[in-house]
Amino acid sequence: MRMKTLQLDLGERSYPIHIGQGLLKDSRLLPPHIHGISSLVVSNETVAPLYLKQLQGLLAGYNNSDVILADGEQYKTLDTSNQIFTHMLEQRCDRRTTVLALGGGVVGDITGFASASYQRGVNFIQVPTTLLAMVDSSVGGKTGVNHTLGKNMIGAFHQPQCVLIDTDTLNTLDDRQLSAGMAEVIKYGLIRDTEFLDWLYNNMGGLLKRDPELLIEAIYRSCQHKAEIVAADEKEAGQRALLNLGHTFGHAIETGMGYGNWLHGEAVSVGMMMAAKLSRGMGWLSNEEVEYTETILKMAQLPTCPPKKMTVKLFMDLMSVDKKVLDGVLRLVLMKSMGEAVITEDFDHDVLLQVLIG
Amino acid sequence: MRMKTLQLDLGERSYPIHIGQGLLKDSRLLPPHIHGISSLVVSNETVAPLYLKQLQGLLAGYNNSDVILADGEQYKTLDTSNQIFTHMLEQRCDRRTTVLALGGGVVGDITGFASASYQRGVNFIQVPTTLLAMVDSSVGGKTGVNHTLGKNMIGAFHQPQCVLIDTDTLNTLDDRQLSAGMAEVIKYGLIRDTEFLDWLYNNMGGLLKRDPELLIEAIYRSCQHKAEIVAADEKEAGQRALLNLGHTFGHAIETGMGYGNWLHGEAVSVGMMMAAKLSRGMGWLSNEEVEYTETILKMAQLPTCPPKKMTVKLFMDLMSVDKKVLDGVLRLVLMKSMGEAVITEDFDHDVLLQVLIG
């Protein structure tokens, strides 16, 4: 068994991120992070048949029950959180219960929010099974659900006790989901690591063929970036916002197209292209750099153009509720140069308009 | 204008509690605590006609809107929080919006939870208009909503920026609500201040007649106790639980009788009597002390016996989801002596049974 471990440094809220093959077979990893006698696994109807038994095998020493949610972004709602609360109350879960999120970003976000809110907060552990959740959503403590008027608008900062990434679970992930996760991997290259970007350019073929060593390397480097940024700015007072490159446009696409139709990573891929083009319009990126960005995204089988349905008006309406809006002023994450993201309200609105028109 | 100010010490989350007459006429108190350009008042259909305009007058310099909720504990739900989220998204409220809770404990709890969760947290200010909210729920950052299976089961710790207590608003409070608030005032005497208990015994008549000076004194001393306890134990790892004297029984009564039928303070009054009797059964209180407790509660026009409908089974079922249960073991706040509460799992279950039978 190969395992690499990172530590997310947040004082008394610090926790390890274990990355490796076969971790769901290792009974030593979870117990140090479960303090009571009760555990609860939240998963969805796609992931549970594949990995629930394996995870429950690791929880044999604890009272355990499970909640299986419907699969899809369209179920990331307050109502679904309430389904978890109801189960927890019926099972008499108390404040020392540890909740485990087994699945992708949707399961992790909603389970994290339910854990943050149940009896004002219980412990939880992330066991991500999609590339996107492994490299992004399971790390850093952002939890939440969607509102019909905006994505991730209801939530909490609630750090897990541990993140357990078994890369073997990627073997059952479909190609479209793998590509969607790759969007967030590429993001780290674009915002702060051009060397990693070149590495991705050189290794995308092997990554999409699921070479285990390459995947572990990509996930490790992604989590390292995420952990560094979150440790420096847990509540997003500053640089953490840079992790949202492409997300203001992307969230608008996800909400505008109906939750669940576009995968988050797909929408972010388009959003990053839009941010790159806007950055070019500001004179910050060259044509070649924008094309290089597009090439890598396309190598990862990702879309790079917004869908026709996304009119300028729909984009503007949906972007006006973005969490980076402050006192009514829209701020965007752009690229000052390759590998250097900035958050700024000083962009040319005509150039933005050009980008939105497409 | 008379005003007394307390500070709740929580490091960077510290805030003032202003207590006095006519504070809703003073335009200097709120602006230091509002950082963005937008404010939102959440109130209910009973309180809004009385004080909304007055409060909005103090917010003239800010973009302002309001949400008016239905009045009553039965509306303290996730659905009602969602009503607030929808309004905030429609109004394009951003992360710098400050939300003001104008009303009693229900409005404060639900508004606090919505503020904790909207975009993962915005600032809020408590403007309590009931005695109960003034002396208890508006101070200390406990926010939340009810679940059909248990009271306050969904929530967050989220401290306000400021608590503004205008005792003039008590002039429009009905007698039943005033008495309900007095239960939490008496609680402070029972758990940690026998001198205050004697003061209440001597002044209950004047308090119920709404003598402004006596009310300010009672509220000030109550908030002082609350602030001391919360400063020492914000997240209820230890002594904060003592504030829940009578609440395990009380929450069971509220839930069992249907939210909104028994006022929280009424249920807590009965719960404190039950705790006193259980403490007597443990040999910790004398007959005289239990009778003195009952006398003061009755002087405040409060009930001291549980309703018939509350069978032993119903009590036990509802108490099993209490937030003080740990690893399946029920813990109760009892009185080791007058003015000295303890939280303990070491009580005699036969004595508990006797108390539940009544």
CATH number, domain containing residue B66: 3.40.50.1970
Q: If you average pLDDT over residues A271-289, what whole number do you get?
A: 97
Nearest to A325 among B94, B321, B323 (CB): B94
Helix-then-strand count for chain A, H and E: 12, 11
Percent of chain B predicted with pLDDT > 90: 95
Question: For chain A, what is the mean pLDDT?
Answer: 96
Q: So what's the pLDDT on residue B142? A: 97
Do B204 and B111 lie in one domain? The reply is no
Domain holding B189, by residue range, is 175-357
Cβ <8 Å between B86 and A144: no
Do A189 and A315 lie in one domain? The reply is yes
**Is the pLDDT confidence value at B1 over 70?**
no
Q: Is A236 a residue of the active site?
A: yes
Shortest distance, CA A298 to any CA of chain B (angstroms)? 32
**Chain B partners within 8 Å of A61 (Cβ):** none
Chain B residues with a Cβ under 8 Å from any Cβ in chain A: 36-38, 78, 81-82, 85-86, 89-90, 92, 94-96, 116-121, 142, 144, 147, 149-150, 153-157, 235, 320-321, 323, 325-328
Do A263 and A128 lie in one domain? The reply is no
Do B340 and B209 lie in one domain? The reply is yes
Cβ <8 Å between B94 and A327: yes
**Chain B partners within 8 Å of A321 (Cβ):** 89, 92, 94
Question: For chain B, what is the mean pLDDT?
Answer: 96
Q: In the A/B pair of chains, how many CB contacts fall below 8 A? A: 111
Do B49 and B76 lie in one domain? The reply is yes
Q: If you average pLDDT over residues B132-141, what whole number do you get?
A: 98
Q: What is the pLDDT of residues B183-240, one digit of tens each?
A: 999 999 999 999 999 999 999 999 999 999 999 999 999 999 999 999 999 999 899 9
Do A168 and A193 lie in one domain? The reply is no
Q: So what's the pLDDT on residue A321? A: 83
Q: So what's the pLDDT on residue B324? A: 82
Domain end, chosen from B172, B194, B211, is at B172
Q: So what's the pLDDT on residue B358? A: 81
Do A149 and A245 lie in one domain? The reply is no
* Residues A92, A97: Cα–Cα separation, whole Å: 10
Q: Is B35 a residue of the active site?
A: no
Q: What is the pLDDT of residues A165-206, one digit of tens each?
A: 999 999 999 999 999 999 999 999 999 999 999 999 999 999
For an interface test with B, give the residue of A120, A137, A233, A317 to mutate (most B CBs within 10 A): A120
Nearest to B37 among A95, A120, A327 (CB): A327
Q: Among A122, A124, A118, A146, which Cα is nearest to A42's?
A: A124
Do A166 and A185 lie in one domain? The reply is no
Query: Which pLDDT band, with edges at 50, 70 and 90, does B323 fall under?
Result: confident
Q: Is B324 a residue of the active site?
A: no
**Active-site residue among A76, A251, A277, A280?**
A251
Cβ <8 Å between B154 and A85: yes
Q: Is B142 a residue of the active site?
A: yes
Domain end, chosen from B146, B172, B198, is at B172
Do A291 and A181 lie in one domain? The reply is yes
For an interface test with B, give the residue of A117, A152, A158, A322 to mutate (most B CBs within 10 A): A117
Q: H-type helices in chain A, by residue range?
A: 48-57, 78-90, 105-117, 131-132, 175-192, 194-208, 212-232, 247-256, 264-281, 287-299, 312-319, 349-357
Cβ <8 Å between A119 and B156: no
Query: Which pLDDT band, with edges at 50, 70 and 90, does A322 fall under?
Result: confident
Which strand (E) or helix (H) includes residue A102?
strand A98-103
Shortest distance, CA A82 to any CA of chain B (angstroms)? 8
Q: Is B240 a residue of the active site?
A: yes
Tally of domains within chain B: 2
Q: Is A92 a residue of the active site?
A: no
What's the DSSP call for residue B357? H
Q: Is B226 a residue of the active site?
A: yes
What's the DSSP call for residue B58? T
Give CA separation, A3 vs A104, A140, A167, A212, A223, in Å.
21, 20, 10, 12, 14
Q: So what's the pLDDT on residue B327? A: 83
Which amino acid type is present at position A189? G
* Residues B102, B80: Cα–Cα separation, whole Å: 15
Shortest distance, CA A325 to any CA of chain B (angstroms)? 6
Q: What is the pLDDT of residues B271-309, one digit of tens each?
A: 999 999 999 999 999 999 999 999 999 999 999 999 999
Q: So what's the pLDDT on residue B322? A: 83
Do B235 and B259 lie in one domain? The reply is yes
Higher local confidence (pLDDT), A55 or A321: A55
Which amino acid type is present at position A41? V
Shortest distance, CA A157 to any CA of chain B (angstroms)? 6
Q: What is the pLDDT of residues B48-88, one digit of tens each?
A: 999 999 999 999 999 999 999 999 999 999 999 999 999 99
Cβ <8 Å between B327 and A90: no
Do B157 and B231 lie in one domain? The reply is no
Q: So what's the pLDDT on residue A16? A: 98
Domain end, chosen from B121, B141, B172, is at B172
Scan for tokens 């405040």, then name that residue: B300
Strands (E), B86-202: 98-103, 123-128, 142-147, 150-157, 163-166
- For residue B206, the domain's CATH number is 1.20.1090.10
Q: Is B147 a residue of the active site?
A: no
Q: What is the pLDDT of residues A283-316, one digit of tens each?
A: 999 999 999 999 999 999 999 999 999 999 999 9
**Residue B24 · residue B55 · CB < 8 Å:** yes
Name the closest residue on chain B to residue A36, using Cα atoms.
B327
**Chain A partners within 8 Å of B62 (Cβ):** none
**Is the pLDDT confidence value at A1 over 80?**
no
Do B344 and B210 lie in one domain? The reply is yes
